[in-house]
Amino acid sequence: MAERVNNFPPLPRFAPRFLKPCFYQNVEEEIPPPHRQLVRRVYNLWILYSATLCVNVVSCIAWWAGGGSGVNFGLSLLWLILFSPCSYTCWFRPLYKAFRADSSFNFMAFFFVCFLQCVLVIIQAVGISGWGACGWIATVMFFSYNVGSAVVMLFSALLFSLVAVLMVLALYRVHRLYRGGGGSMQRAQEEWSSGAWKSASAREAGFNAISVSGPSLPQYPAAVPSYPESGPW
């Protein structure tokens, strides 16, 4: 099998040599065909959330310029720097590895972290003042102070609401797919106890199976669920 070179995140050519991509990501090569569309949609959801955090920074600048607190701008910048990469590594990446290697442990990691992220996004959509998020409460209340700033803030409130709804749909879709294939917490605990979730030999065997037989899930015992094909959201 040809050596895989990390390709994500893509870096510009002028980036210093010591900066290199951290992950290898290739949906066409590593994800079974029935699940590629779902994985792409969750990836696009991560991109949308990162873009929402960028818009939120701009909205907090408008909030500050209109007479709001500068603390919100500082926190919005912190959320962008913190949650944009962490959301990729903590809930999209486990989902990617779960479909790539049929890993119950990674499915559980996705459910747990994505659920917490969804709760946080709902709080950001609500828009409590002083939390660094231009949600509905902060936006509606600011219309009486500065209409121009409030209109800019409205974009963040709408995007946070959209992201929250899509996260709920993603959790529901993946959970239904996982449970429909016979997945359970017990299987995740067994993977944790046996160390199969971090076994280099198991991952290598899985990659070899993919490279030999094409983009399909590696062979597992009969107890491992065969996930049904992805349907519409």
Predicted local distance difference test score (pLDDT) of residue 181:
58
Per-residue pLDDT of the chain (233 residues; tens, 9 = 90+): 456 788 888 888 887 888 888 899 999 999 988 899 999 999 999 999 999 999 999 999 999 998 888 899 999 999 999 999 999 999 999 999 999 988 888 998 999 999 999 999 999 999 988 899 999 999 999 998 899 999 999 999 999 999 999 999 999 999 988 877 555 455 555 554 555 545 534 444 444 444 434 444 444 333 434 555 555 55
What's the confidence (pLDDT) of residue 130? 87
Nearest to 226 by CA among 26, 29, 34: 34
Domain ranges for the chain, please list them: 42-196
* pLDDT of the residue at 67: 87
Question: What's the pTM value of the predicted model, to 2 decimals?
Answer: 0.79
What is the predicted pLDDT for the residue at 215?
Answer: 42
Q: What does the H/E/C string look like for 134-154? A: CCHHHHHHHCCCCHHHHHHHH
Residues 233 and 228: their CA atoms lie apart, in Å, by: 14
Kind and range of the H or E element at 6? Answer: none
